[in-house]
Structure 1
Amino acid sequence: MTAPTLVRNKPTRPRRSVTLTVVMTLFLIYTLVPLWWLVVNSTKTQAGLFDSFGLWFADDFVFFQNLAETVTYRDGIFVRWLGNTLLYVVIGAGGATALATLAGYGMAKYKFPGRRAVFAIVLGAIAIPGTALAVPTFLMFSELGLTNTPWAIIIPSLISPFGMYLVWIYAIDAVPTELLEAARMDGAGEIRTFFTISLRLLTPGIVTVALFAVVATWNNYFLPLIMLSNPEWYPLTVGLNQWNAQATGVSAQPIYNLVIMGSLLTIVPIVVAFLFLQRYWQSGLSAGSVKQ
C-alpha cells in the first residue's frame, strides 16, 4: 500500500475588486476634500480667500491670527457659543444616552404588560423626523415659558427613540439571560447586576448611542433656531450661521475668515470624540467572535 500523500492548502489571497477600490477612493476624496479646503482656507486672510486657489495655501499664513480674532470677536461670543454647545451636549446627549440605556435594557430583559405597544410606539417615534416635531415642541414650550432658555434645547435632546431601540436590540444578545440568572442565584440584586455585569457588556452599544446623541445635539440647528432669540444662548451652529449672514447681508462685514476658522474649530471636538470612542467599538466587535 502506498502511503497517503499530504496535500497542503495554499493560503488564499484576499480577493481584490478594482471597481470597489475606485468607488471607495472616490468616497475618500469626497470626504477629505471639504476638510482639506477648510484647513487650507483657515490659514488665509480675508483678501487671500478670494485672490488664491481654494485648495492650496496663500502667501500669508495667518492661522493663529484668525484663531485669535475668532475667539475675541464681539467680546468672545464664539467662546460663549462653544460653552453653550458643550452644555447642551453634556446634559442633553449624556442624559439621552443614560435614559436610552436604562429603557432599552429594561425592554430587552424584562417582560411586562404593554411591551408590544411600547415597541410599536418606539418604532413610530423613530419614523417621525425631528423637524416635524420642532414647531409643536416650540408651541408647548412657549406655553410653559421655557423658550429662550437652555431647557428648551436640553429637554427635547433627552429623548432618543433610536438610541433606546439600538440598546434594546443590542442587549438581547450581548447580555445572556443565563448570566443574569446566575447572578440572581448568587444573591445579587437587579441594580447591582446591571452596574457590575450588564453595563460592561453593553459598553459598545452605549458608546454607539452616545456618539449618535452627541453628533445630533452638536449639529442641532433648527430647534435652537426657533427656540432661542437671545444670542447669548446660541449653540455654535446657529451662531456661525448668524456670522455667515452677517458677512453676506446688506450691511456685510468682512468676516469670512472668522466663519471658516469657527467652522474648523466646531468639527474638532467631534473628530476627537470619534477617535477616542472607536476603541470601544473594536473591543466590542471582537468580544464575541471566538467561542470557547
Structure 2
Amino acid sequence: MATPRPLTQPLRQYRSIFAQYAPPSTSNASAARARRFISSTSSSSSSPPPPPSPHAQQQQQQQQQPKQKKPLTPAQQSLLSSALRVNQAGELAATLIYTAQTPPVVAREPHLRPLMKHMHDQEASHLHTFNTLLARHRVRPTALYPLWSVLATGLGWTTGLLGREAAMACTEAVETEIGGHYNGQIRALLEMVGEWEREGYEVGAEFRDLIATLRRIRDEELEHLDHAVEHDAQKAEPHWLLTGVIRTGCRGAIWVSERV
C-alpha cells in the first residue's frame, strides 16, 4: 500500500497549475482571492493539532507513571511466612519418608527402584527450593523440625516393611493432603494478586514466580499420587484405616507447623 502524500503537496501543485492555466478573463482581484483561498487551505492543513484537554493530559500522565507495588500487610506477611515454613517441613518429611521406604521396598520389588528414586529426587528438589526461599525471606523453620524428622523416618520404615501396597498407600495419603494444601495456598495468593490489580498496583515478578513454583510443585506431588494408585496403593489392608491415620497426622502436622 503506497504511503499517502501530504495534503500540502497537491495544494502547491494546484496553485502552480491554477496560476499557469488561469483563463485570461479572470480578473486580478479574482485571482488574488483564489490564491488567498489556496494559501489559507494549505496553512490550515499543516497547522498543529489543538492541545489536549486537562483530563486527557491527566490520563496520559497516569499511563506514563510506573505502577507502585503495594506493601504486604502484617496478615499477608504472616500468611506467606507460615506457608513457606510449613511447605519446607512437609518437603523434609516427604524426603525422609522416601529415603526410609526405598531399601525395604526395593529389596522386595527391584523394578520399583527407578520410581522410588524419581519421587525421592523430586521431593529433595522441593526441599532445596523451600530452604532457599526461607533463607531469602528470613523465615524461620518450624521449631518441631527434629520431631517431624523422627516421625517421617519412622513412618517410611514402617510402611516400607509392610510391603509395596502399604508404602504406596502412605504416598497416596500424604500426597492427597499435600496437594490440597498447595491448592489452598495458591488460591489465597491469587486472591491477593487480584486485589492488588484491581487497586492499580503492580504485582512483582518475584511474587508471580512464587505462585508458579507452588503450582509446579503441586503438580509433581499429584503425579506421585497417580504413581501410588497405579502401583496398588488401594490394595493395602486395611486401606481406609492406614490412609485415614496418615492423613489425620498430616493435617495435624500442617496445622502445628504453620504456627510453631
TM-score in same-fold range (> 0.5): no
